[in-house]
Structure 1
Amino acid sequence: MHKQLKIYLTMFSFFVLGETMLGPIYAIFVKDIGGNILDAGIAWSIFMLISGIGIYLMAKIQDRIKKYTKFMIGGYLLISLGFLGYYFVSNVIQLFLVQILMGIGTVIVVPARDSFYTEYLEKKNLASQWAAWESLWFIVAGIAALLGAFIANKFGFKFLFLTMFILSLIGLVIATQLKDKNGNKSIH
């Protein structure tokens, strides 16, 4: 496996850990800020629709620019700010705004990260290198689900959101070591 993929997977694991800590207990958080099941569904729908529509459009832009690491840093930065934004959410409208920010970050990240990962794949090991990404996601998300529930139960949601934010910042620091195939570093 190429060194850049190893760096990417390390960085990605910190983001997955932070991102998936909230998943199983998301509806409880929505209820805690005065929302209900419908509000949780609306918030998730906002994120998914923005992401789904925007990813296709952003990919067209990124196909022309091809500075994948810069897009990844920008997108992951917005997602990190979204994690921090959860800390300040006290009502459903604020939650919807954070979901918009998270969706925009995802729009920027997904085409860039997929393209970056694809650039460094070894043709003879496609299945195992994609499996490394996918299995990492499931394993880390499984750990994060339990860890997030424990943290929220023991210390509260605000502490959980700060933990998510800190994990994402660690991921961002690691991401500064990524280089596009043409040698462009994410940060110069």
Structure 2
Amino acid sequence: MHKNIKLLLLASIFTHMGANLLAPIYAIFIEKIGGTLIDAGIAVGVYAVFKGIFYFLFDKIDETKLSKRVMMCIGYALMGVGYGLYVFAESPIHVFLIQIIVSLGETVINPSWSAIIAMSLKKGKEKSIYSHFFGYRSFAEGFAAIIGALFAMQFGFSVIFSLMAMFSFGSGALSLMVDEKVISEPQKVKVA
């Protein structure tokens, strides 16, 4: 497996694991800061709608002038900042604003992440790599959901948000290790 793929799969697993520390108890957190189940639904909706808006806006950017690994690092950092801001959230409106930051982060990450993965895949190994990736990520997400609920009960939500931010910042550091030279060079075809 190509080094770039290993790094990016690990970065994705870390970030999804961090997000799933909160996922099953998200509505409880919203309620704790004075919100309702409707507010929890609105927060998820805000995230999805703004992610869609940002994708359409990013379509207008000339990606040849941007470093893919730097873009991913910025995206993971934005997500980390957003997760860290949850510590200070005191109302549903704060959560809605944080969701916009987190959605911007994910939108900055995904096009570069997908492009690097696609360029680093070996022909004929795509299914195997994605199967392993989604399998490992699912294990990590499930484990994180259980741990997140336990940690929230034992230590409170601030610990969860701090862990989420650390996982995202760690993912950003991993993305900076990607070798863009390998990506930009065309594959040489061997003639027998």
TM-score surpassing 0.5? yes
Which range is displaced more, 80-89 or 168-177?
168-177
Q: Percent identity?
A: 31
Residues 126/19 of structure 1: CA separation in 2 closer, same or farther (3 Å cut): same
Trace 1:39-188 onto structure 2 (pairs within 5 A).
39-61=39-61, 63-65=63-65, 67-180=67-180, 181-182=183-184
The AA in structure 2 aligned to 1:166 is: M
Work out which of the two has the higher radius of gyration on C-alpha atoms and give 1 or 2.
2
How far, CA to CA, are the matches of 1:91 and 1:23 in structure 2?
18
Deviations 1:108-150 (A, max 9, x none): 1111111111111111101111222222221111111101111
Is this contact kept in 1: 2:73–2:171, CA < 8 A? Answer: no
Is this contact kept in 1: 2:76–2:169, CA < 8 A? Answer: no
Q: Which runs of no fewer than 5 residues in structure 1 stay unpaired?
A: 184-188
The AA in structure 1 aligned to 2:184 is: N
Trace 1:6-21 onto structure 2 (pairs within 5 A).
6-21=6-21
How far, CA to CA, are the matches of 1:166 and 1:109 in structure 2?
17
Is this contact kept in 2: 1:11–1:172, CA < 8 A? Answer: yes
Describe the SS at the equivalent of 2:184: coil
Residues 72/148 of structure 1: CA separation in 2 closer, same or farther (3 Å cut): same
Describe the SS at the equivalent of 2:34: coil
The TM-score normalised by the length of structure 2 is: 0.88
Which range is displaced more, 6-15 or 32-41?
6-15
The TM-score normalised by the length of structure 1 is: 0.90
Is this contact kept in 1: 2:72–2:112, CA < 8 A? Answer: yes
1:64 offset after TM fit, Å?
A: 4.1
1:41 offset after TM fit, Å?
A: 0.8
Please report the RMSD computed on the Cα atoms of aligned residues, expressed in angstroms. Answer: 1.6
Is this contact kept in 1: 2:74–2:172, CA < 8 A? Answer: no
Q: Which runs of no fewer than 5 residues in structure 2 stay unpaired?
A: 186-192
How far, CA to CA, are the matches of 1:158 and 1:43 in structure 2?
19
Deviations 1:130-175 (A, max 9, x none): 2222222211111111011111011110111111112222222222
How far, CA to CA, are the matches of 2:114 and 2:60 in structure 1?
13
1:76 offset after TM fit, Å?
A: 0.8
